[in-house]
């Protein structure tokens, strides 16, 4: 610390003292405090010359991460020390060997899991996905790696305001795509909610601000409503002698946004915007009984929605979440969600797996559930040949999924994600059973493999030794275990076929007196443009490769004379790609200017998945085969592109123009009536002079739904069209679909 300036010392020591206060209950011995102090001093010295984008000394970031670990997640001394050290190997001259020598092997393993891979320049790979995979590989050995990474990501999101807008979108997209679902799966509800809200703030700033403003404006009304709603409940609960607390809360901004988007409703139309949580101070053996007593009191006053009762106390979620949920109708006609839980359940709901170890009576039950999930991850990890992006997709599959509860013929309870099929159930029992599955009996009735299961189903699997996995199975399984097993089996089948291709190739080499060596096979891969021998041999076995070309490239020594040099065009292309990524991907701060033909910076095309138009917030994405594609920042694919391939995302912006027309699609609904179609066509082609490509409208039972495809100039032009469409009597909703 001696080499820091006095002003920096004050900032750093204030942050460090805050960490010590927050971690007081986890520092049970003087050795713990000395251990944390040692990590702090080491990290402070290693990061001494570094500063954050905000201008603060860099060491304030590791301190903040360590504080989140202990204060908000509930981790102990080892996690605090590793959080303080988490960036040393990646960003300074410190090595993993230094960490092991000074702190120990355990700390080295954790820091290694938190250190990013330094990837080489390669358009076909994803650095983000590789780094996420590396971190997940540590999960079966030490879950603290994931907790520290989530704390690191949460602090980065809290301080994202100091970054450039395009960097903000990339980091926020990655957070929403990978880290928020992971926090959810580990039961870190508070972390998950904040990550989602902060991600939305940067990926959809207008939508975020609109919802946040409406929540602020309605805060007093909500508080008054909640107060009136819980008043009779308090009086009755006081009579029971139960110790409790009640608090009302709005749903998170992200969950409100999701409901608006998925259900196509307005903010005002969300029926369960209000939620009331009743938290009981009960002994663990009385929690279930007391929760149902509270439920009885609530339903004596308010009518419950029978379809919205969720008993996660009897059957906790696989992330350990326990609570009793119901939705009831208030006297003013508003639906209110009621969550009933104990203080123990509430802490676990907020801090997830890290909180379970405090409660010894429930530790074994929760450990079993967590171990079951870890075993699924282990199955994925052990499949070394899985492509990184496939690994991420398989891993993500079950992170957010709602759960169903099904039974074996013997009455054993199994938890599966919603939409799971009979085949998913078979693989959940055992991989070999899944591979041999030919059908199932659901509640004693025969069903196909693709039959979707519902909660309460009793499932019996029918197998045959003649059955083998089919590629079509991937179309209807939803669990990562099923998908990884099927893919692995299919690869094994490909390997068997490829062996025949390899034998064919060897015979061809022998006939031409060519040595079958790794070097010659490598030359052949380049010649036929294959990435690995397996793909080449498989195609040979399928009869899709013309091996007669080999004869043309024989050298007298029995070797292939084929060292395919990089063509000048390819070298030029790689150089161009590097320059594009450097100039428009971040380093020089330039943007691709769209719509100005006088600026021939780079060639681009507009992505068909979201059809951007002038005025839309956009970004460029550098594809492997089709050059640069321009996407809207709210494109359905944007989060996945930015999270997996952030370095190929390029800055772009429109130059204002009105001389070009762009095709857009607008969906509208309403109450059927006379003259609506005539009013609409008169407005579009007459008043607004817009060229219509197509207009489709269908009516059923007095309700109509239509789609208009028209050519417009920019977003201002589109907004004008949509506002005037909303003014036509009978039209209730108007929404841009692309």
- pLDDT digit string, tens, across residues 235-284: 999 999 999 999 887 789 999 998 888 877 778 777 667 789 999 999 98
Asked whether residue 513 carries a pLDDT value surpassing 90, the answer given is no
pLDDT of residue 120: 46
Mean pLDDT, residues 62-69: 96
pLDDT reported for residue 355: 64
Give the β-pairing of 662-671 and 310-311: unpaired
| pLDDT for 417 beyond 70 | yes
What pLDDT does residue 362 have?
Answer: 47
Average pLDDT over residues 141-163: 89
The full DSSP string for 253-307 is HHHHHHHHHHHT--GGG-TT-EEEEEEE---GGGHHHHHHHHHHHHHHHSEE-GG
Using a 10 angstrom Cβ sphere, with 0-12 exposed, 13-18 middle and 19 or more buried, the burial of residue 500 is: middle
pTM equals 0.77
Span of 42-56, 320-334, 394-408 with lowest mean pLDDT: 394-408
What is the pLDDT confidence band of residue 555, given thresholds at 50, 70 and 90? very low
- Average predicted confidence (pLDDT) for the chain: 83
Boundaries of every domain in the chain: 6-205, 212-358, 488-553, 568-654, 662-736
Q: How confident is the model at residue 599 (pLDDT cuts 50, 70, 90)?
A: very low
Mean predicted confidence (pLDDT) in 102-123: 77
42-51, 216-225, 570-579 — most confident range? 42-51
The confidence score (pLDDT) of residue 566 equals 47
Q: What is the pLDDT of residue 166?
A: 84
Bridge partners of 324, per DSSP, are 311, 340
pLDDT confidence tier of residue 387, bands split at 50, 70 and 90: low
Q: Return the pLDDT at 565.
A: 44
712 closest CA partner among 599, 591, 616: 616
Q: How far is CA 427 from the centre of its chain?
A: 24
pLDDT category at 491 given cuts 50, 70, 90 is: confident
Write the secondary structure of 103-116 as one string of H (helix), E (strand) and C (coil).
Answer: CCHHHHHHHHHHCC
Domain pair 6-205 / 212-358, same fold: no
Question: Which CATH code for domain 212-358?
Answer: 3.30.460.10
The more confidently predicted of residues 220 and 102 is 102
| CA distance linking residue 275 with residue 251, whole number of Å | 7
In the predicted model, is pLDDT for residue 585 greater than 70? no
Q: Is 68 exposed, middle or buried (0-12, 13-18, 19+ CB in 10 A)?
A: buried
Selected residue with higher pLDDT from 592 and 216: 216
Portion of the chain with pLDDT greater than 70, in percent: 83
Mean pLDDT of 384-411: 71
Sorting pLDDT into bands at 50, 70 and 90, what band is 16? Answer: very high
pLDDT band, very low/low/confident/very high, at 536 (cuts 50, 70, 90): confident
Q: Where does 105-204 have alpha helices with state H?
A: 105-114, 127-137, 144-158, 165-174, 180-185, 189-203
What mean pLDDT is predicted for residues 144-172?
90
User: Which amino acids are annotated catalytic?
Assistant: 90-91
pLDDT at residue 666 greater than cutoff 60: yes
- 460 pLDDT higher than 70: yes
pLDDT at 341: 95
Tokens 């469409």 sit at which residue?
725
Question: How many CA atoms lie less than 13 Å away from 371 in the CB half-sphere?
Answer: 6
pLDDT at res. 568: 55
Mean pLDDT to the nearest integer, 615-632? 85
CATH for 662-736 is 3.30.70.260
Residue 582 has what pLDDT? 67
For the segment 433-449, the average pLDDT, to the nearest whole number, is 92
Residue 139 clears pLDDT 80, i.e. is over it: no
Q: Which residues are registered as beta bridge partners of 653?
A: 593
CATH number (1.10.3210.10, 2.40.30.10, 3.40.50.720, 1.10.240.10) of 6-205 reads 1.10.3210.10
Structure token pair of residue 662: 């762009």
Q: Give the pLDDT confidence of 328-365 residue by residue, as tens digits.
A: 998 888 888 899 999 999 988 887 766 655 554 444 55
């Amino acid at each position: 610390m001696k080499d820091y300036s006095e002003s920096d010392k004050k900032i750093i020591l204030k942050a460090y003292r805050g960490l010590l206060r927050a971690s007081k209950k986890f520092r049970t011995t003087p050795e713990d405090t000395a251990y944390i102090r040692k990590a702090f001093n080491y990290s402070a010295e290693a990061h001494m010359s570094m500063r954050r984008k905000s201008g603060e000394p860099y060491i304030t970031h590791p301190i903040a991460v360590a504080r989140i670990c202990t204060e908000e997640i509930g981790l102990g001394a080892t996690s605090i020390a590793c959080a303080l050290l988490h960036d040393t190997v990646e960003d300074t001259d410190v090595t993993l060997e230094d960490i092991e020598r000074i702190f120990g092997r355990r700390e080295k393993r954790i820091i290694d899991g938190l250190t990013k891979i330094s990837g080489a320049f390669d358009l076909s790979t994803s650095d983000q996905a590789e780094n996420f995979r590396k971190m997940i590989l540590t999960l079966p050995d030490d879950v603290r790696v994931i907790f520290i990474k989530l704390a690191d990501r949460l602090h980065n999101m809290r301080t994202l305001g100091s970054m450039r807008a395009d960097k903000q979108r990339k980091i926020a997209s990655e957070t929403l795509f990978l880290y928020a679902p992971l926090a959810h799966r580990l039961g870190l509800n508070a972390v998950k909610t904040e990550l989602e809200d902060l991600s939305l703030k940067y990926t959809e700033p207008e939508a975020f601000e609109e919802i946040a403003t409406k929540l602020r404006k309605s805060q007093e009304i909500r508080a008054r409503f909640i107060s009136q709603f819980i008043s009779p409940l308090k009086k009755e609960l006081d009579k029971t002698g139960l110790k409790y607390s009640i608090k009302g809360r709005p749903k998170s901004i992200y969950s409100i946004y999701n409901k608006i988007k998925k259900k196509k409703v307005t903010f005002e139309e969300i029926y369960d915007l209000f939620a009331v949580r009743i938290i009981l101070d009960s002994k663990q053996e009385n929690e279930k009984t007391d929760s149902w007593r509270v439920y009885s009191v609530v339903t004596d006053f308010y009518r419950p929605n029978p379809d919205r009762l969720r008993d996660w106390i009897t059957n906790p979620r696989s992330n350990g979440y326990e609570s009793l949920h119901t939705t009831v109708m208030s006297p003013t006609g508003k639906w209110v969600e009621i969550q009933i839980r104990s203080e123990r359940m509430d802490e676990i709901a907020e801090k997830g797996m890290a909180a379970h170890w405090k409660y010894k009576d429930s530790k074994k039950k929760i450990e079993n559930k967590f171990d079951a999930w870890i075993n699924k991850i282990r199955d994925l990890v052990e499949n070394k040949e899985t492509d990184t992006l496939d690994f991420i997709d398989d891993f993500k599959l079950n992170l957010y999924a709602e759960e169903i509860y099904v039974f074996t013929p013997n009455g054993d309870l199994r938890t599966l994600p919603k939409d799971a099929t009979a085949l998913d159930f078979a693989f959940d029992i055992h991989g070999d059973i899944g591979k041999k599955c030919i059908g199932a009996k659901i509640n004693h009735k025969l069903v196909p493999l693709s039959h979707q299961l519902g909660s309460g189903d009793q499932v019996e699997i029918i197998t045959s030794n003649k059955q083998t996995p089919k590629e079509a199975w991937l179309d209807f399984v939803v669990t990562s275990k099923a998908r990884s097993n099927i893919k692995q089996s299919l690869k094994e089948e490909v390997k068997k076929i490829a062996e025949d291709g390899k034998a064919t190739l060897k015979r061809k080499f022998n006939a031409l007196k060519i040595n079958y060596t790794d070097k010659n096979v490598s030359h052949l891969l380049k010649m036929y443009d294959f990435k690995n021998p397996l793909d080449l041999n498989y195609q040979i076995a399928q009869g899709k490769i013309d091996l007669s070309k080999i004869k043309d490239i024989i050298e007298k020594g029995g070797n292939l004379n084929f060292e395919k040099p990089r063509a000048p065009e390819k070298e030029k292309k790689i150089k161009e790609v590097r320059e594009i990524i450097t100039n428009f991907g971040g380093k020089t701060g330039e943007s691709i200017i769209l719509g100005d033909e006088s600026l021939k910076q780079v060639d681009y095309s507009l992505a068909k998945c979201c059809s951007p138009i002038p005025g839309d917030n956009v970004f460029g994405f550098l594809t492997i085969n089709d050059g640069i594609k321009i996407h809207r920042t709210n494109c359905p694919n944007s989060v996945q592109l930015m999270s997996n391939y952030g370095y190929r995302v390029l800055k772009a912006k429109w130059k204002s123009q009105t001389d070009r027309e762009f095709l857009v699609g607008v969906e509208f609904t309403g109450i059927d009536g006379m003259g609506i179609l005539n009013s609409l066509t008169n407005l579009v082609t007459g008043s607004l002079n817009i060229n219509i490509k197509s207009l489709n409208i269908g009516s059923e039972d007095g309700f109509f739904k239509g789609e208009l495809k028209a050519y417009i100039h920019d977003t201002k032009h589109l907004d004008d069209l949509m506002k005037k469409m909303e003014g036509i009597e009978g039209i209730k909703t108007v929404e841009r679909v692309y």
